[in-house]
């Protein structure tokens, strides 16, 4: 069994923000897999199951994402090596991505929460680049801004590239 998790913050005010690119990835992934499937809610996450693949969005804020990941992984008995966490990454330019195991950004509170809850770093990270700052703005403020229309097009194209090129 495999688990793919998209990190983000719940609520309308966070939709299409850079910090929610993990949610954007998961939503596109599930639409392409089967647009008719509906999200089911349990505890502090929502999920869709496709055979032996579970797709999940934590309903907690980013910094507490690990609790939801741990609950669903425990429920389905999924080992950390079979977990992929999609998230924003300020260390990677907009339009680029990296799929890496046991390696992530220097600082990301959502990833830190997952590592703490799973008690390991041995899971996959789908690091979606969001760095496109022209002006000096603090990372914590930048990630909560919405994508411009041009940036949104780039990120959606990046997601399509991942869905075509990666075996998730």
CA distance readout (Å), 168 to 2, 67, 93, 162 = 9, 23, 22, 9
Q: Which residue matches tokens 């703005």? A: 137
Residue range 110-166, pLDDT digits in tens? 999 999 999 999 999 999 999 988 777 888 889 999 999 999 999 999 999 999 999
Give me the active site residues, please: 19
Q: Report the distance separating Cα 141 and Cα 19, nearest Å.
A: 10
CATH, domain 2-165, list 3.40.50.1470, 3.40.50.2300, 3.20.20.210, 3.30.450.40: 3.40.50.1470
Q: Is the pTM of this model over 0.85?
A: yes
pLDDT given at position 159: 97
């Amino acid at each position: 069994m495999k688990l793919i998790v998209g990190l983000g913050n719940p609520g309308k005010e966070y939709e299409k923000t850079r910090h929610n690119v993990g949610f954007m990835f998961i939503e596109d992934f599930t639409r392409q897999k089967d647009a008719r499937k509906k999200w089911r809610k349990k505890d502090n996450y929502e999920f869709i199951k496709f055979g032996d693949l579970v797709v999940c969005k934590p309903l907690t804020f980013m910094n507490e994402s690990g609790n939801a990941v741990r609950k669903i992984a425990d429920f389905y008995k999924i080992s950390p090596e079979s977990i992929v966490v999609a998230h924003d990454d300020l260390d990677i330019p907009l339009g680029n991505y990296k799929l890496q195991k046991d390696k992530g950004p220097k600082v990301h509170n959502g990833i830190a929460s997952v590592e703490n809850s799973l008690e390991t770093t041995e899971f996959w990270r789908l690091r979606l680049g969001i760095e496109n700052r022209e002006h000096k703005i603090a990372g914590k403020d930048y990630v909560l801004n919405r994508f411009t229309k041009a940036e949104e097009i780039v990120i959606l194209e990046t997601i399509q590239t991942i869905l075509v090129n990666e075996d998730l």
